[in-house]
Chain A
Amino acid sequence: AQKVTQAQTEISVVEKEDVTLDCVYETRDTTYYLFWYKQPPSGELVFLIRRNSFDEQNEISGRYSWNFQKSTSSFNFTITASQVVDSAVYFCALVYNQGGKLIFGQGTELSVKP
């Protein structure tokens, strides 16, 4: 069975702090895709990253970085120098085939205080 676990329900940090959001996944498939989405209070899902199971390179995009480790089935997301605008719910998700349905984690609500 496929499953995504985001153990951190809520995280609160002060602006400029670094914060890491954890994501652990379970799948028996050798080919799969992992995603991170941001959901601000408006509700619309904002795509952040897609990573396939064969690409374990870490990725950095501005203040965002992702650490993918197949050995621990984790795909963690770090925000460096957090800002108030980063406050949102962040979802990690898994799909085993391109074009398939996403399995979402429970989400982590990040609150960045000024």
Chain B
Amino acid sequence: GAVVSQHPSWVICKSGTSVKIECRSLDFQATTMFWYRQFPKQSLMLMATSNEGSKATYEQGVEKDKFLINHASLTLSTLTVTSAHPEDSSFYICSVPLYEQYFGPGTRLTVT
């Protein structure tokens, strides 16, 4: 069964609105979770490291004020895309870095 879940699986929002994506570790407690972004026909790029109980660590070039990450508990991390724009349309995937690096099923965001 699934080890990591994401919600929603897809979302369409209007430009300027905010969208929250949840990532849940179902079988493990996770002090760390990773958020990746994947544009069409491209590879996965790490956006940020979500740390339970402390601030997220962002990769170079990722706007921390735009992509808000909250690691509320050992099983839940959320990514909020604030003031979304069409260029934020992408596939967002979270992972729990255990043996297999368990990935969530992904969230497809479309900003119109």
Contacts and interface: CB of A to CB of B under 8 A. Distances in A.
Contact of A44 (B97, B100, B106): B106
Nearest to B105: A44
A102 B45 CA distance: 9
Nearest to A46: B103
B46 interface: yes
**Binding site of A, secondary structure by majority: helix, strand, loop or mixed?**
loop
A37 B32 CA distance: 21
Given A43-B91, A50-B100, A100-B97, A107 B105 contact: no
Q: Kindly name the residue among A45, A100, A105 whose own CB sees the greatest number of chain B CB atoms within 10 A.
A: A45
Interface in A56-114: 91, 93, 95, 98-102, 104-107
Contact of B98 (A37, A44, A45, A99): A99
Contacts of B99: 50, 98
Interface residues of B, number: 22
Interface in A35-56: 35, 37, 42-45, 47, 50
Given A45-B103, A101-B49, A106 B43 contact: yes
A37 B108 CA distance: 19
Nearest to B101: A102
A43 B43 contact: no
Contacts of B95: 102
Contact of A95 (B45, B49, B101, B108): B101
Contact of A35 (B42, B98, B101): B101
Nearest to B38: A43
Interface of A: 35, 37, 42-45, 47, 50, 91, 93, 95, 98-102, 104-107
Q: Can you list the 9 inter-chain pairs with the closest CB atoms, starting with the nearest?
A: A45-B103, A99-B97, A44-B105, A47-B100, A43-B106, A104-B43, A104-B44, A106-B43, A101-B46
Interface of B: 32, 34, 38, 42-46, 49, 91, 93, 95, 97-103, 105-106, 108
